[in-house]
Structure 1
């Protein structure tokens, strides 16, 4: 990390057995993806494999932001990268000839699924806008709202007998009512209730 001029370190949290590490952001992540050498951590063969995984992903990152990238070629590149990501182990474990692979199919994330199966189509249809025009923020906001609704506006799948309802059903019911009132303008037709606070008079 010193070679690529990135400040990074581990430290143990005071009074606990937990370890923390420096969180990389923005340009620092790009520098690490492009330049970090795993040869200082692993043997030459494995370091080469992981270095290639990181460098190829960095190239995908650069290509996906360019409006000159060919979507068909990009699709092939993402599939090749996924094959590399899923490099299987070879040989029998605990033997001299055993070569450990990289990741398993269960390690594939939804973001990786989108990268390989949907992003080339997005690029083909909307490349003139570039991917910078798209954002996951609305999806994250929706997830935040539904998590909040689960804890604040549902019984959390609780209740007894006939009163018991699925939390998902309760959230959808709440959202449907909110949409209805918003579309009909019902919220603006009635004044908000006034809250009256009564203070108790202290006895002398």
Structure 2
């Protein structure tokens, strides 16, 4: 039984290693060539596997991309920073909004760094850009669902701030949340498309912060 358990763990470890190498290879190629150009064969070759073995783990490039974008949306949305109890004071809701903006600003403005983080973020942004173009309905649906969830979370915090008299009474929490989220992702995509625009994009991110601060009473 112990041998069977050990063999099972070893197989599980091999499976996870293969999947990790395929994810990494895909992100490297997406980062350098965009989402459309690399084939599953090229990804498997980059990872050091045959296409048959690669397709054992991921049926096709779309399935691999879906795995990557789901992981990215869970991680990069930083939704845990937006957790705030309904009974929390308005200042706590405001602090959560600012902490979230600071975190995503740091994350995206380093996407052109010459390190694993930069490569990963660029690869994921290539998938995101393809999703916005409707290249794959399933991936587009995942991004859309995540966007709506993020908007709802931020709207809830803005509504809490408004109810607590912390921001201007004429503020529309839903409209502001839509503007906030799409401003963040729009700037991230703009930076992805223009590596030389890092300084300007960082300044633009600071303007999102100023826009939030302008809501304060």
**Bin for the TM-score computed over the shorter chain:** under 0.3
Is the radius of gyration larger for structure 1 or structure 2? 1
TM-score, normalised with respect to structure 1 = 0.28
Instruction: Tell me which protein shows more helix as a share of its residues.
Output: 2
Q: Which has the higher contact order (CA 8 A, sep 6+)?
A: 2
